Copies of this chain bind each other. A is one copy, B any other.
Amino acid sequence: MQIGHLEARPRVGYFYVNKKPYQTIIDKIMKLRVRDFLSVPVVVSENTVIYDAIVALFVNDVGTLFVVSEGEILEGIVSRKDLLKTTLGKVDINQVPVSVIMTRMPNVITTTMEEGLWHAGRKICSHEVDALPVVKEITQDKIIKYKVVGRLSKTNITKAFVDFGLGKFGSEEENDY
C-alpha cells in the first residue's frame, strides 16, 4: 500500500506536516540545477602548446581547460595537475601540444544544464576532478557529439554553499518556498 503525505489545501486551514527539517534541506538541494551555478568555459584547441595552455589558465584565472574542435565540440580536458606533471619530465612545453597530455573523450566526466547540482557535485567528488564541462548533446554527421556550453567547478559549489547561508538558493524560480 502506498502511503502519501497530507498536504495543503486552500481554505482548509492547518494541516499536519511530518517532514523533518532536514528533509526540507534535502528537497531544496535536490531542486538545484547546474544551469543556475555554472561559469563560462575556457577552451583551447588540440594543437595549443602546453606553454600557451598554461598562459590561458592564468589569463582566464581558471583551474581547468577544455580542449575543443571546431564548433566547441569537446575533445578533452586539461587540469593544472596535468600541466604541472609536464614540469617533472623532459617535455618541451613550447613544442608539445595539450592533446598529448589531456584526458580524452569519452573518458571525460561531463554534466548538463538540466542535471541536479547535487548529482554534479557527487560526480566531482567520486571522480576526483576539479571541474566538469557542461555539455549539450548534438548530432553532427549522424554522430552524437558534445558541445561545451559551460563549466562547473568546486568553486561554483563552494559559492552555492556560501549563498545558502545567505538565504539564496538558486534561481528566483526555485526560491518560492
Q: Is A138 an interface residue (CB 8 A)?
A: no
Q: With A80-B80, A87-B87 as known contacts, state yes or no: A124 contacts B20, CB within 8 Å.
A: no
Nearest opposing residue in chain B for A5, CB measure: B17
The reply to whether the CB of A55 lies closer than 8 angstroms to some CB of chain B is: yes
Binding site for B on A (CB under 8 A): 3, 5-6, 8, 14, 16-17, 20-26, 28-30, 51, 54-55, 57-58, 61, 63, 80-81, 83-88, 93, 118, 121-122, 124-125, 128, 130, 154-155, 157-162, 164-167, 169, 177
Whether the Cβ atoms of A29 and B87 lie closer than 8 Å is no
With A3-B14, A161-B118: A54-B84 Cβ-Cβ less than 8 Å: yes
* Binding site secondary structure of chain A: helix
Contacts A88-B55, A158-B125, A162-B125 given; indicate if A81 touches B80 (C-beta within 8 A). yes
- For A5, the chain B residues whose CB sits under 8 A away are 17
